[in-house]
Amino acid sequence: MSPYPLGLMLTGRRVLVVGGGAVATRRVPALLESGAEVVVVSPSLTPALQALAQDGRLRWIPRRFESSDVDGAWLVHVAVDDHSTAAEVSVAAEERRVFCVRADDRHAASAWTPAITRHGPVTVAVSGGGDVRLAMAVRDAVATLLGAGLPEIRRPASAAGAGEAMGGRTAAEGHAAAHGDAVGSVALVGAGPGDPELITVRGRRLLAGADVVIVDRLAPGLLLDELRPEVELIDASKIPYGPAKAQREINRLLVDHALAGRRVVRLKGGDPFVFGRGAEEVAACAAAGLPVTVVPGVTSAVAVPAAAGIAVTQRGIAHEFTVVSGHLAPDDPASLVDWPALARLRGTLCVLMGLRQLRAIADALMTNGKPADTPAAVIQDGTTAGQRVLRATLGTVAAEAAAQALRPPVVVVIGPVAG
């Protein structure tokens, strides 16, 4: 058989799924993502499907299939192992001229589901002529190529279509389209805690399509080696002035390059919104009418302890964890951290940027009641080949960190889980 490839627009259209087991659990999320009105007919559901039904994201009919269930459906998915029931569904769908996908026997179906990989706006569907393993192998190969760097597609602005599309555009996009200019964009990308492979797929894709990359000191340097030769790289850590003026300069660079029609990626260590001043940069771009994409990153507050074998929460040990910035001493008037309150917590305390103030932090916690024998750990260069882990107690951690000449970046973990 030679199937005819087609993309179905299912938004607001009813799709019937017969069966509530593992196959249905795999198929339903993509149907919901497409906007379909999903109806599941099955005497029972997996916990995942039950949760979707309880949230009102799908309709569950708790019984066996009846031929009238196909009425009003645009597409049917048969997700049962019972061949007789599957055949019954096929007959009902055929009589009503509704395409039917069958998990039990694709050759008895009137529609096939291809092996799919998605990368942003690109969806690739592979059909292997009935050979599922072949289709998946080709799909995986394509996914690897896309993951290695598919540039963002710059859609040329159309002056003729500018008025029609103005309603969904920012002011900058509308102005650029009306004047035939290309409008740029800004993406704040979290690069993760240090290991270059911990950047998200979307973050890597945006990097591959960037014209300008403004990078922080803590972003993995190996990611920069993958940039196209013509990409303009700006090292934000080398921008002069004090911290406040440097941030204003970074904001200006983001806006100016984007208004000039360039695709700008602001590459930041960890997550852009965890002590990364991402909100300030989004505000600056929004004030200029620029489209901004925020790509969350794997935050070092959780990932670095994990790489050192420390779970920030653990049943029976810690039911909470708190992340604070330690760049200011506890007695600094500018500090917004309530150290006395943190000393009373029974869970895990993760301190970022706290190495320089570690002794003052430990003293403040102990002064306010945190026992000196509370386990503590300091992880330097977490998730990288240079990772170092120091385990101590709250009373000794500052002295031991100094003795071992630990240097930033580090994550400090205080609490029972560190033991």
Q: What is the DSSP string of 95-132?
A: HTT-EEEESS-GGG-SB-PPEEEEETTEEEEE--TT-H
Selecting among 104, 211, 216, 381, the annotated active-site residue is 216
Average pLDDT (138-146) is 81
Closest CA to 183 of 258, 256, 251, 257: 258
pLDDT recorded at residue 175: 41
pLDDT recorded at residue 342: 97
Residue scoring higher pLDDT (256 or 107): 256
* 104 flagged as catalytic: no
pLDDT recorded at residue 148: 63
Is 29's pLDDT higher than 90?
no
In 3-state terms the chain splits into helix, strand, coil percentages (rounded to 5) of 35, 20, 45
Superfamily classification of domain 301-418: Tetrapyrrole methylase, C-terminal domain (3.30.950.10)
Is 168's pLDDT higher than 50?
no
Residue scoring higher pLDDT (66 or 103): 66
**pLDDT tier at 157, thresholds 50, 70, 90:** very low
Is the domain defined by 162-295 classed in CATH 3.40.1010.10? yes
Measured in whole angstroms, the distance separating CA 344 from the mean position of its chain's CA atoms is 33
Average pLDDT (256-266) is 96
Tokens 């993309």 -> residue: 7
Q: What is the mean pLDDT of the chain?
A: 88
Residue scoring higher pLDDT (382 or 172): 382
* 245 flagged as catalytic: no
User: From CA 402, how far away is CA 387, in angstroms rounded?
Assistant: 17
Range(s) of the chain covered by CATH 3.40.1010.10: 162-295
**pLDDT tier at 160, thresholds 50, 70, 90:** very low
Residue scoring higher pLDDT (243 or 85): 85
pLDDT recorded at residue 31: 93
User: Which tokens hold the place of 393?
Assistant: 């107690």
Instruction: Give 199-215 pLDDT, tens digit per residue.
Output: 998 898 899 889 999 99
Residue scoring higher pLDDT (7 or 169): 7
Other residues' Cβ atoms within 10 Å of the Cβ of residue 6: 8
pLDDT recorded at residue 241: 66
User: Which tokens hold the place of 134?
Assistant: 């072949």
Cis peptide, bond prior to residue 409, ω within 30 of zero: yes
Measured in whole angstroms, the distance separating CA 111 from the mean position of its chain's CA atoms is 32
Q: To which H or E segment does residue 342 belong?
A: helix 339-344
pLDDT recorded at residue 193: 95
Range(s) of the chain covered by CATH 3.40.50.720: 1-113
The least confident of 71-75, 164-168, 219-223, 408-412 is 164-168
pLDDT recorded at residue 172: 44
**pLDDT tier at 149, thresholds 50, 70, 90:** low
Specify the pTM: 0.74
Phi, psi (rounded to 5 degrees) for 349: -115, 120
pLDDT recorded at residue 127: 85
Is the domain defined by 1-113 classed in CATH 3.40.50.300? no
Max CA-CA distance within the chain?
A: 80
pLDDT recorded at residue 139: 83
DSSP state of 350: E
Average pLDDT (42-60) is 93
Average pLDDT (103-131) is 84
**pLDDT tier at 182, thresholds 50, 70, 90:** low
CA distances (Å), origin 410, targets 19, 134, 191, 386, 387:
50, 46, 16, 12, 10
Other residues' Cβ atoms within 10 Å of the Cβ of residue 276: 20
Residue spans of alpha helices (H) in 106-232: 132-147, 162-165, 171-178, 201-208
Closest CA to 295 of 194, 168, 199: 199
